[in-house]
Amino acid sequence: MESILARLPAAFWTTPYVGSRFPGAAAVRELPGLGAGANCQLFAYEVLRHFGLSPAPLRSSELWDDTHSTVHVAEPETLDLLLFNGSAAAYGAHVGVWAGDDAVLHLCAEVGRPAVWTLEDFAARERYRVLLGVKRVRGCAARGCA
């Protein structure tokens, strides 16, 4: 299967980091999509939507606690969500998308545009050093199951 990274439209790769554009924010309701920028959660959810999944517009702590639209999994599969933080707290956690082969697609202020890091890259940064865990969006359209 071709990598999800190769299957993302060019517009995804130019999305600027804008911290005030998060799921549920007024700015996102007024101007949906990635054209005006996004935070990590909004970007990750748009990536999943592109591949046929329907994530709920949850902030990181809500996502971590959610059991209705997502499930905790021990090992990531392509299109799973990974949550990182500087501590074991889910509040304010950074969200990325597992792209396979130790690759996490994410959008962060440090880079300003989408980037692909390894788990080691995250662990090397104080603010992302803790991998809280992996969440899988319920539904399987993108994973080829019926």
Q: Where are the domains of the chain?
A: 10-137
What confidence score (pLDDT) does residue 139 get?
78
For all residues of the chain together, what is the average pLDDT?
91
What confidence score (pLDDT) does residue 2 get?
66
CATH no. for 10-137: 3.90.1720.10
Average the pLDDT over 82-104 and give the result.
97
Closest CA to 60 of 80, 85, 36, 77: 85
What confidence score (pLDDT) does residue 26 get?
80
- State which H helix or E strand residue 26 sits in: helix 26-30
With tokens 């959660």, the residue in question is 41
- 86 exposure class (CB count in 10 Å sphere: 0-12, 13-18, 19+): middle
| pLDDT tier for residue 27 given thresholds of 50, 70 and 90 | confident
